[in-house]
Structure 1
Amino acid sequence: MSPTDPARGVLPLVVTIAVQALVSLAALAAPVMAPAAALSTGLPAGWVGIFVGVVYAAACVSTLVAGDLVSRFGPIRMSQVSLVLCGSGLFAAALATPAGLVLSAVLIGLGYGPVTPASSHILIRTTPPHRMSLTFSLKQTGVPLGGMLAGLMVPLLIHGLGWQGAAICLGGALLAMAAVTQTIRPMFDSDRDPSRPLAPSRALKPLMKVLATPALRDLGLCSFFFGAMQLCLTSFLVLYLTEARGLSLVTAGSILAVAQVAGVVGRLGWGWMADKVIVPRLLLGLLGVVMGAAGISLAMVGPGVPILGFALIAAIFGASAIGWNGVFLAEVARLAAPGEVGAATGASLFLTYGGVVVGPPLFASLVAQSHSYPLGFLAFGALLSAVGVFLMLTGPRRGGRQASAPS
C-alpha cells in the first residue's frame, strides 16, 4: 500500500505524533529537572533559560537545512536521526557537568529541528485539503503530550532514580522509538531523492523565499513572538510556582501538566475552527491576544491565590500559548509552493525558533535583574497582545498557492 491509501491514513498521524511527543519530552524535561539538577551541579536553577536558548539555537541551524535533508534521505530516516540525537543529548545531561549540559542542549536542539519538516512532508501527502488544519493540529498535540509527560513522569522518575537516572531512562525510550520506526521506512521514504544536493549555499534559499512571500513572512515573524511566549511558559512556570509561590515540585509539575493538557485540547479545537469556522490568520491573532492576557494575569495574581486559581490560568495560558502551532503549520503548508512544504516549514520554524532562542534568556535576564518572575510574564504578555492585534487588523496578504480561508 502507498502512504496515500485511505487504509493507511491513520498510520502517518500516529507515527508523527509519537515522534514529536518523545522529542518534545527530551526538550522539555530540562525545566522540570532544573531544581534537582541545580543541587548536584552547583549551577543556579535559572540556568535552564540558557539551556533552552542553546537548544533552539541548534534547532535553528538544523531546521533551516531540514528541507534538503528530508528530500534526500526521507522523512522517517530524518525522524530516526532526530530521536537518536535527542536521546544522546539526555545521556550527555546525565554526566552532570557544565560541559555535559552544553553538549546535551546542542544535541537535543540538532535533533529537534528536523522533526516538524519531516512530519509535514509526510502529512501533506496523506491529508485531504479540507482536514489540513485539524490533522496538523492533531500531529502537533505531540508537543504538549511531551510536556505533559515531562510534568507528570519526570518528577516521579527523579524521586525513584534521581535526575541523572531519569535522563538515562528517557534517553533509552527515544532510542527504542528510533528502532521501531525502521519497520515503516520503506513505505514513507519511498519518494526520497538521493540526488538532492546538500550544498551550504542552499541553506538560506528557503528563508529568502519565505521572507519574499508576504503571507508567509507575516506568519513567520509573528511566530517568533509566539514561540518565545510558549517556551517561557513551559520553561519558567515550574520555577515560578516553586520559587516565587512556594508550591512543591510535584504540585508545580502537575500545574504544568494542566497547561499541557489544555494545549492538546486547544490544538484540536483551534484546528477544527480554522478548517470550518474562522480564517486561520484571524484565529492566530485572537490566540495572541489570549496568551498575552493570560501572561498578564499570571503576573498579577497574589500569593494567596489557591492552587485551583493557578491551574485555571495555566489552562488558559496553555490552550493559547501551546495550542497555536498546528494552525500555523497547516497555513504554512497551504501557502508553500508545491514540493516545497518541508523547506517552507523549516524556514518558517527558523523564525519561530529564533524567538525561542531570544525569549527564555531575555525572560531570565528580566527575572535576574528585577528578582521578579511576575515582571517577566507581564512584559511578555503585553508584547504578545500587541502581536495578536497586528495579525487581526492587517488581514490576509497575497502570495502563496492557496488563499487562507475556511473550507
Structure 2
Amino acid sequence: MRNATLAPLATTLTVQALVSMAVITVPVLAPEAASETGVSASYAGIFIALVYGASMASSLVSGPLVQRFGAIRISQACLVACAIGLASVAAGTLPLFIVSALLLGAGYGPVTPASSHILAKTAPPERMALIFSLKQTGVPIGGALAGALVPTLVLWSGWRMAALWVACACLVTAILTQPMRKALDADRNPRKPLAVASLAGPLRYTLGNPDLRRLALCSLCFAALQLCLMTFLVTYLMLDTGLSLVSAGMMLMLAQVGGAIARVAWGAVSDRWGRPTRVLGGMALAMGAAAVATAGFSAQWPNALIAVVCVAFGATAVGWNGVYLAQVARLAPPGKAGDATGGALAFTYAGVLFGPPLFTLLVGWGAGYAAAYVLLAVPSVVCGLVLLWHGHAAGQRAPGVTGKQ
C-alpha cells in the first residue's frame, strides 16, 4: 500500500478510534461515577441517546465545515470537543453530564465525513471499499480500548482522573495530526460560506440523489438492527437462554470481533467483485437471517452454536459500514464526499437513535426479545431485496459501469 494512502488511512483510523473511545468511556465509568455523584448508572442509555442526537445534527453541518476549514482541522476540533466533554464528565454534576453528551456528539458526528473527504482523495479507486472498511475498524477498536483500559485507569487513579486521561489522549492525538494538515487540507476553501442554507446542503444533497437517498434510508434500518444487537444481546441471552453474565458477555465480544474482522473482509470482497450495492444487499439479507436465528435461541441450544450465530450476526449487522461509506463517497462528485457522507450519516444516526427505544417499546408491549429481533429484521430484509434489485437493474442498463453497483 502506497505511503500516499497509508498515512491518511493511519491518521483517520487513529482519530476514529480516539473519538469512539471517548464516547464509550462514559458508560464504562457510569457504575463508579454513580456511587459518588448520585446519578444512576442506568442514565447511561439517555446519555448515549443525547450523544447520537448531537452526532446526527453535527454530521449534517460537517460538509461545508470540512470544505472551509479542511478535514484535518475539523478532525482536530472534534478531538478537542471530545476532550472538553470528558473534562465536563469529571466535574461530576448532572448539568455538565448533559453538556458532556452534547460535546461528545458534536465531536463524534463530523469525524466520518471528514475522513471520507480525505480517503476519497487518497484511496485508489480499486481499493476504496477496503480502505474505508479498514478506517471503520476504528469504531470497535475504540470500544475495545475503552473496555480494556478505562477500568484499569479507574482502579489506578479514580473515575474522574480516568476521564481526564482519555481527554489527554484526545488532545495529544489532535497535536500529532498537525503535520498532516498542510498536505491533506490543501483543498480547503476559506471563503466557503457557512450560511444556514449551505449548512443544510448535505441533507438536501442526499435526498436529491436517488442512489444516495436509497443507501441512506437502508443505513437507518441497518444501524437500528446493529445497535439492538449490541444493546440487548447480553440481557436476552441471560433471560431467555439462562447464560451467565460472563458467558453472555463473551457472546457479545464474539459478535464485536466478528464485526471488526468482517468490515475488512467485506471491503475486500466489494472491491474485488466491483458491485458494492449488491454486496450490501446480500449483507442485509444475511443480517436479517442472523437476527431471526438469534430469535430462536433457547436453553437447549449448545453454547458453540449460539457463538456461531452471534459471530454471523456481528459479521453482517456490524460489518456493513465500510462498504456503505465507500459507496457513498464513490457516488459523490469530486470534492463532495464530505457533503454526501454528512447527509447520509444523518439517516444512519437516526437508526442508532430510534432503533433501541423501538426495541424497548416492543419488549414492553409484551412482544418479547425474540419477537423484537424478528420484527426489526424485516426492514433490513426489505432493504436487501431493494438493493439487490437496483444493483441488478443498474448492471443491466449500463454493463460497462457495473463496478459502481
Same-fold call, TM > 0.5?
yes
2-side partners of 1:282 and 1:125: how far apart? 24
Which amino acid is 2:128 matched to? M
Task: Tell me, yes or no, if the aligned pair for 1:53 and 1:361 is still in contact at 8 Å.
Answer: no
Q: Aligned pair in 2 of structure 1 residues 259, 97: CA closer, same or farther (>3 Å)?
A: farther
- State the identity %: 46
User: Is 2:384 aligned against 1:383?
Assistant: no
1:247 aligned onto 2:244? yes
Q: Structure 1 unaligned segments of length 5 or more: list them.
A: none
Equivalent-residue separation in structure 2 for 1:362 and 1:243 (angstroms):
19
Paired with 1:303 and 1:167, the residues of 2 have a C-alpha distance of 39
Whole-Å separation in 1 of the counterparts to 2:180 and 2:369: 46
The verdict on how the C-alpha distance between 1:404 and 1:35 changes in structure 2, with shifts beyond 3 A counting, is: farther
How has the CA–CA distance of structure 1 residues 373 and 102 changed in structure 2, closer, same or farther, with 3 Å as cutoff? Answer: farther
Whether the aligned pair in 1 keeps the contact of 2:205 and 2:339 (CA below 8 Å) is no
Query: How many positions carry a matched residue from both structures?
Result: 401
Instruction: Kindly report which structure 2 residues correspond to 1:183-332, keeping only aligned pairs within 5 A, or say none.
Output: 183-238=179-234, 240=236, 247-248=244-245, 253-277=249-273, 279-303=275-299, 305=301, 308-332=304-328
Displacement of 1:361 in angstroms is 2.4
Unaligned runs of 5+ in 2: none
CA deviation string 1:106-155 (max 9, x = no partner):
11111011111111111111112111111111111111222232343344
CA distance in 2, matches of 1:403, 1:63: 30
CA-atom RMSD in angstroms? 3.0
Partner of 1:54: 50
In 2: Cα distance, 1:138 partner to 1:107 partner: 26
> Could you say if the C-alpha distance between residues 134 and 35 of structure 1 is closer, same or farther in structure 2, counting changes exceeding 3 Å?
same
What TM-score results when the alignment is normalised by the length of structure 2?
A: 0.88
For residues 31 and 283 of structure 2, the distance between their equivalents in structure 1, rounded to whole angstroms, comes to 31
- Per-residue CA deviations over 1:234-262 (Å, capped at 9, x if unaligned) read 334455556775634x6555443332221
**Cα contact 1:137–1:327 (8 A) shared by 2:** yes
What is aligned with 1:105?
101
Structure 1 residues 167, 389: closer, same or farther in 2, change over 3 A? farther
What does residue 145 of structure 1 align with? 141
Would the aligned equivalents of 1:148 and 1:256 in 2 still touch at CA under 8 Å? no
How far does residue 233 in structure 1 lie from its aligned partner after superposition? 2.6
Q: Determine if the alignment matches structure 1 residue 126 to structure 2 residue 133.
A: no
Shift of the 378–219 alpha-carbon distance from structure 1 to 2, 3 Å rule, reads same
- TM-score w.r.t. the length of structure 1 is 0.87
Q: Does the aligned pair in 1 maintain the 2:82–2:103 contact within 8 Å?
A: yes
Q: Please say if residues 276 and 406 of structure 1, whose CA atoms lie closer than 8 Å, have aligned partners that are also in contact.
A: no
CA distance in 2: counterparts of 1:155 and 1:221, whole angstroms = 37
Whole-Å separation in 2 of the counterparts to 1:20 and 1:122:
13
Do 2:218 and 2:380's aligned partners in 1 also have CA atoms closer than 8 Å? no
Say whether the 8 Å CA contact 1:293–1:382 is kept in structure 2: no
Q: Counterparts of 2:243 and 2:84 in 1: how far apart (Å)?
A: 34
Q: Counterparts in 2 of 1:84-103, with a 5 A limit?
A: 84-103=80-99
Distance 1:66 1:213 in 2: 18
Name the amino acid aligned to 2:82. C
Please say if 1:405 is aligned against 2:403.
yes
| Greater mean deviation of Cα atoms: 88-97 or 49-58 | 88-97
Contact 1:267–1:326 (CA<8 Å) still a contact in 2? yes
The SS at the match of 1:9 is: helix
Residues 90 and 207 of structure 1: CA distance in aligned 2, closer, same or farther (over 3 Å)? same
